[in-house]
Amino acid sequence: MESLAERIMSAFAEALGLNSTYFDPYIGQPISALWALNYPATEGLPEVAQQRAGAHSDYGSLTILLPEIGTSGLQIEQNRIWTDVPAPDGCFVINLGDLMELWTSGRWVSTLHRVVAKSNQPQRKSLAFFINQIGKLK
């Protein structure tokens, strides 16, 4: 996962018009974590405004998510509208973190996201890999 994160950070650098190795000094010794998340099945209608994970952004540079195929509940906020994030087969979901927003001086915005409860939803599993760097950009 750290190798994948390095490749993504290289692509981010190029997308920002920088050399592909720009972030290398800051991601060489990452503080990373892998979480296995389990959201139990729901029966009937959820309570009004019930959420499985409240709205938040991640504090690192990026988060790599592997949601269970065909599940739903993850939403991102854009322009004050919450949008469902699909979970297609063989795909990761990448969230930008607060550190990336800081590093780009707000050019790229940290992903505000949440997991909502839905009616009669099957169990949802997700793996979240958090990559957090140390050090300041020059």
> Nearest-CA neighbor of 125 among 52, 62, 40, 51?
40
pLDDT given at position 134:
57
Q: Print pLDDT tens along the chain (138 aa).
A: 888 999 999 999 999 999 999 988 888 777 888 889 888 888 877 676 677 788 999 988 999 998 887 777 889 999 999 999 988 888 899 999 999 999 999 999 999 999 888 777 788 888 899 887 655 555
| Interatomic CA distance for residues 85 and 1, integer angstroms | 21
pLDDT at 137: 54
Measure the CA–CA gap between 111 and 122, rounded to whole angstroms: 25
Domains, the chain, with CATH or none: 31-132 (2.60.120.330)
